[in-house]
Structure 1
Amino acid sequence: MRALKLISVCIAVGLPMISNSAFADDDFRFFGYARYGAAFQDSDEQRVTTAGALNGNATGRLGNEDNGGEFGLSKGYTSDLGDQWDIVVMFDHYSQESWAQSGTGGVKVKKAYASVTNFVDSQPELKVWAGRDFHQRPQTGLNDYFWMTHDGQGAGFYNLNLGGAKLDFGAVGQVQSDLVDDNGKYAVTSKLHGINLFDDASVEFYANYGFASKKAQKQSYYNTRAYQLAADFSMSGHHLLFRYADNAKDSVFDLTKDQRAWLVSFNGANNISDQAAVEYLAAYQFLDVAGNEDRANYNVIVRPTYNWDSINSTWIEAGYSVVDYKDINAKNSSWKVTFSQNIVIGSQLPARPMLRFYTTLGKADNEFIGFDSKTGNMQSSQLDTLTFGAMFEAWW
């Protein structure tokens, strides 16, 4: 009766129904990622892109990014038995079409989930979750490319210890970030990790499957299946990645019939001295699609850095990207160089927050951007970029 009375009082006054005998407040966190600033455009385009590019921001992300941010709150609880709970919510704000749904921008709910760990004695690292979350989005940094992404609503677990390897598994439905329910597209995702090969070397394997509900299959473009297979080899901070996708590219939510994508990417960083370092990325991806737009994207990005002291640093990023069409006699290319003077909280490469003052110089020479609807002739464009900007970037 006392429990029922307590529940009734909580409902009446809007208090959370968490028993004070079962839980003790643990931690409250504010976390996220953001970059905002102004960029003065003194030429054709503010940013450098290759038309038809497949490998993310293929000419390089430094001085070549959209504004926006992701802002999250989490509350943790630990029970008397030791199981640890988190309730998480995150909002994002992106105004550019490359990030925002339908190009409308605005504030959207990207995370709203609960999770529990340390509730199985034999599996203290096992984490079970349900709700809406960023889901399986491994990334290469210099080109800001999520080579897999399955954000959605559903449930799953992380870090099931199999002895010599750990398994992540999830089942999620795709949602537009400003809607509540899923759209009928679903993904079953898995990742096998924690596999040590030798010394500082390890490997991770991914396998994903995409499909649609019977109701959604009534729309012909949903009436297909998709899958992805990938392996990511890591050694001393260097990564060699292989990924194959069938009826998909970056996500099995794509469900694009007669489409296949092959990706090979190599990236990492080397410390030249206590003050100097260089980051690099080289990638190749081929997209085989129905129609005449089969193409390969080659791109190389190099970013040497120099730390003058523990606060001030200089970065120079040079990038080159080529899109080579197989069935059309056309190649698109772009190059970019960005000089960035930084004020940063620490001298190491991943340190943030950072204030960045930069100049970007580049050019895109696109021999094919589509066909003229009246004449049927190929359309092309040549676009120069000269941009002066200032921005902050932080994750916390």
Structure 2
Amino acid sequence: MKLFKLLPLSLAVAGTLASAGAIADNHDIDAMEARLAELEARVGGEFNDTQQPAVLNAQSEVPLGIVFSGYARYGAGYQGSDSLYVGTHDSLNANATGRLGNEQNGGEIQFAKAFESDAGAIWDIVFMVDHWSDASWATNGGVQVKKLYAGASNVFESQPDLYIWAGRDFHQRPQTDLDDYFWMMHDGQGAGFYNMDFGGMKFDFSVVGQVDGEMVGDNGRYAATSKFHGFNTGDVDLAFYANYGFHSEKIDNDPTIDAADSAYQVAAEVKFSGQKFIVRYSDNAKDSVFDLAEDQEALLFSLGGGFGLTDNAGIQYQAAYQSLTGDAVEDRANYNVIVRPTYQWNDVHSTWLEGGYSVVDYDDIDATNQSWKVTLSQNIAIGPETWSRPMLRFYATVGNSDNEYTGGQSDDPSTWTTRDEDTLTVGAMFEAWW
């Protein structure tokens, strides 16, 4: 998980925003906005997407002592058929059949300390470890150092909200919710700034190096990332991204590494009335310009959000299309749709029903991979909103993955490997951000 302003509230608010499209009705939207206003009054500034760093500003209050925050989900699932989880081979859109009842365990634990100088500058030092067994998150299941950085705001009189940072951090992790997809990801070590003011608009810029596994140095791949945001026109909020990837001589001097000289991404994100639309184009890359993948292009369209049906019932959805083409990949497109009706019985208990369907269609192979799942979840939460956490979930999942091609010579069907797996899972877990 993916997604953070002053530290005690960062993950909680990020989760709120990541789930904003799930709000059941106008009353819930008003309640969420009131809650955000309360939090903003306590810490100042704007909140970023899931698992982004806390970005302090001149109005941030400095708490006493160490701030403890984090995100986690842990539980157990009983496998009653071929597979515990449902997934489409060669999927491009992360957990494309839906995340509810289809997630592995893990968590992120963060400690931070904030300071204020005599001149009024606001500083913080942040440390985080994570624990993920899912191969899409980490190379192993151990505890790893994911953040160790320092930052400061209110250091320039003309730019009091400019936040300057350096160190190791989660970096540029915008996310879609129901498929748990970080459609950009540039975690690394480097430096940069957030919230440079351009007459009401804000500009972020950083240069980061990709960490060499779990070592203390980088691997020679770098990303220059940027974001223009704060374009508000009535009920519409716009943000634009532009990233550039490059490498050092460290890559050139290693004959075992085949990397493109450069890569780039451009993207636009539009939020309106609880909905979010994303378009992203990547050249020599997909989710990250660290890829430096020669002759590769990716194009993503994604729409997600939610609608209220009654005072207690609502529906969330996520639909996406992504194509990937290139010399070193199987040219393909991934279509997926996820729908999650929700019903809130009272301030504590709710029921969710999530259905998802994902298709991977190859351009040059006469094969199609597809999967579907349905999950019923009975929830106990700390509050009545769909984004209220902590939450206990008791769920059951049924589904199927029918993968006609999982490997072999693409032009010789007799060499293809296939995988057709049914899923029947009963489980319980908790999820929390704090």
Global fold match (TM > 0.5)? yes
8 Å contact from structure 1 (residues 25, 78) kept in 2: no
Read off the aligned partner of 1:98 and give its amino acid letter. S
- 1:275 Cα deviation from its structure 2 partner: 1.2
Question: What does residue range 47-196 of structure 1 map to in structure 2 within 5 Å?
Answer: 47-101=85-139, 104-176=140-212, 178-196=214-232
Instruction: Report the equivalent of 1:290.
Output: 327
Letter in 1 for 2:423: T
Report the structure, 1 or 2, having the larger strand content. Answer: 1
Contact 2:403 2:420 in 1 (8 A): yes
With over 3 angstroms needed to count, the CA separation of the structure-2 counterparts of 1:375 and 1:218, relative to structure 1, is farther
Match for 1:273 among 290, 306, 310?
310
Aligned to 2:84: 46
Note closer, same or farther for the CA distance 1:176–1:359 as it changes in structure 2 (3 Å cut). farther
Number of residue-to-residue matches in the alignment? 370
Give the whole-Å Cα distance in 1 for the aligned partners of 2:224 and 2:189: 12
CA distance in 2 between partners of 1:382 and 1:229 (Å): 37
SS at match of 1:215: helix
One-letter amino acid of the counterpart of residue 387, structure 1: T
Give the letter for the 1:149 counterpart.
M
Pick from 297, 301, 324: which aligns with 2:338?
Answer: 301
Q: Select 1:30's aligned residue among 56, 68, 84.
A: 68
What is the match of residue 209 of structure 1? 244
1:218 to 244, 253, 274: 253
Aligned residue for 1:368, secondary structure, equals coil
What code does the residue aligned with 2:290 have? F
Percent identity, please.
Answer: 58
Change (3 A) 1:290 1:223: closer
Superposition RMSD in Å: 1.6
Instruction: Identify the match of residue 377 of structure 1 among 398, 415, 418.
Output: 415
- For 2:345 and 2:408, the matched residues in 1 are separated by 50
Alpha-carbon shift at residue 202 of structure 1 (Å): 1.5
- Give the drift of 1:156: 0.4
Deviation by residue 1:279-337 (Cα, 9 ceiling, x = unmatched): 11100000002157100000000111111000000011000000000000000000000
Aligned residue type for 1:131: G
Counterpart position of 1:363: 400
C-alpha separation between the residues in 1 aligned to 2:162 and 2:315? 36
Secondary structure of the residue that 2:186 maps to in structure 1?
A: coil
Distance 2:101 2:331 in 1: 30
After superposition, the C-alpha distances for 1:68-87 in whole angstroms (9 at most, x for unaligned) are 00000000001122110000
**Structure 1 gap ranges (5+):** 1-23
After TM superposition, the structure 1 stretch with the greater mean CA deviation from structure 2, 156-165 or 286-295, is: 286-295
- Which secondary structure does the structure 1 equivalent of 2:101 belong to? coil
Name whichever of 263-272 and 335-344 sits farther off. Answer: 263-272
Q: Quote the offset at 1:25 in angstroms.
A: 7.2
Partners of 1:45 and 1:176 in 2: CA distance: 32
Contact 2:260 2:293 in 1 (8 A): no
Alpha carbons of structure 1 residues 375 and 300: separation in structure 2 relative to 1, 3 Å: closer
Please give the alpha-carbon distance, in whole angstroms, between the structure 1 residues aligned to 2:322 and 2:287: 11
Q: Is the CA contact (8 Å cut-off) linking 1:217 and 1:223 kept in structure 2?
A: no
* Contact in 2 for aligned 1:343/1:356 (Cα 8 Å): yes
Greater Cα radius of gyration, structure 1 or 2: 1
1:109 and 1:177 in contact (8 A); partners too: no
Contact 2:219 2:250 in 1 (8 A): no
Is the contact between residue 142 and residue 281 of structure 1 (CA under 8 Å) also seen in structure 2? Answer: yes
Contact 1:135 1:150 in 2 (8 A): yes
In structure 1, the partner of 2:5 is none
If asked which structure has higher relative contact order (CA below 8 Å, sep 6+), I would say: 2
Q: Is the 8 A contact 2:244 2:289 kept in 1?
A: yes
AA aligned to 2:433 is W
Deviation at 1:222, TM superposition (A): 2.5
Give the deviation of 1:98 after TM superposition.
2.0
Distance 1:375 1:134 in 2: 42
Range 229-238 or range 24-33, more displaced: 24-33
Equivalent residues in 2 for 1:311-322 (5 A)? Answer: 311-322=348-359
